[in-house]
């Protein structure tokens, strides 16, 4: 009985240590936008044991942000159309996103050719197995610039 208690205590100690390590797991993602109004990826995935996501959006084209700007926006798939529609009226200076839009889980700023932006967000904002989409809210772009984001 004593040894059982001892091994249970050891297990819980290891459990705590394991959680401490897991708390620091930053998973990195990269995606590029082009002058042809495309992302280079149709799907991004993050494993459920990642606690933070560090995402870098790079614009590999040459066109300026006002002409062919791209951002990277994450929301539930079902919120994409509404977020993109409201982003049109929000204007360029607001990264074509409605101010403090609660549907937006994470987003970069709009970048132009040769520029990049890196953001970090916690996966505590995500639910395992939920259908998420990423897209660009520059007017007209989300029809082509979109993909699935998986957390599982
Ligand atoms: Cu775009």
Q: Which of 24, 43, 37, 15 is nearest to 120 (CA)?
A: 24
- Measure Cα distances from 58 to 27, 92, 111, 117 in Å: 17, 18, 8, 7
Give the DSSP H or E segment for 88: helix 80-90
Q: How many CA atoms lie within 13 A of 42 on its CB side?
A: 2
Q: CA-CA distance, 65 to 109, in Å (whole number)?
A: 10
What distance in angstroms lies between residue 49's CA and the mean position of ligand 1's atoms? 30
pLDDT means per 10 residues, the chain with 152 residues, are 46 47 82 98 96 98 98 98 98 98 98 98 96 98 98 94
What distance in angstroms lies between residue 111's CA and the mean position of ligand 1's atoms? 9
pLDDT at 11: 41
Tell me the whole-structure pTM to 2 decimals.
0.85
What distance in angstroms lies between residue 130's CA and the mean position of ligand 1's atoms? 24
What distance in angstroms lies between residue 149's CA and the mean position of ligand 1's atoms? 17
What distance in angstroms lies between residue 125's CA and the mean position of ligand 1's atoms? 24
What distance in angstroms lies between residue 129's CA and the mean position of ligand 1's atoms? 27
What distance in angstroms lies between residue 67's CA and the mean position of ligand 1's atoms? 10
Scanning the structure block, which residue is given the tokens 């991004």?
A: 44
The alpha carbon of residue 25 and the mean position of all alpha carbons in its chain are separated, in whole angstroms, by: 15
pLDDT at 52: 97
Q: CA-CA distance, 122 to 48, in Å (whole number)?
A: 11
pLDDT at 24: 80
What region does 142 belong to: left with phi over 0, alpha with psi -120 to 50, or beta? Answer: alpha
What distance in angstroms lies between residue 152's CA and the mean position of ligand 1's atoms? 27
Return the biggest CA–CA distance within the chain: 72
What distance in angstroms lies between residue 44's CA and the mean position of ligand 1's atoms? 17
């Amino acid at each position: 009985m004593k040894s059982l208690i001892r091994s249970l205590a050891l297990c819980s100690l290891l459990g705590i240590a394991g959680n401490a390590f897991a708390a620091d797991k930053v998973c990195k993602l990269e995606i590029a936008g082009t002058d042809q109004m495309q992302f280079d990826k149709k799907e991004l995935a993050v494993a459920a044991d990642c606690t933070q996501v560090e995402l870098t959006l790079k614009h590999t084209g040459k066109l300026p942000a006002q002409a062919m700007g791209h951002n990277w926006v994450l929301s539930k798939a079902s919120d994409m159309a509404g977020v993109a529609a409201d982003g049109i009226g929000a204007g360029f200076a607001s990264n074509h996103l409605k101010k403090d839009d609660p549907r937006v889980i994470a987003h970069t700023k709009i970048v132009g050719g040769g520029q990049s932006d890196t953001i970090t967000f916690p996966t505590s904002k995500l639910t395992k197995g939920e259908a998420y989409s990423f897209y660009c809210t520059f007017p007209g772009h989300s029809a082509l610039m979109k993909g699935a984001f998986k957390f599982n």
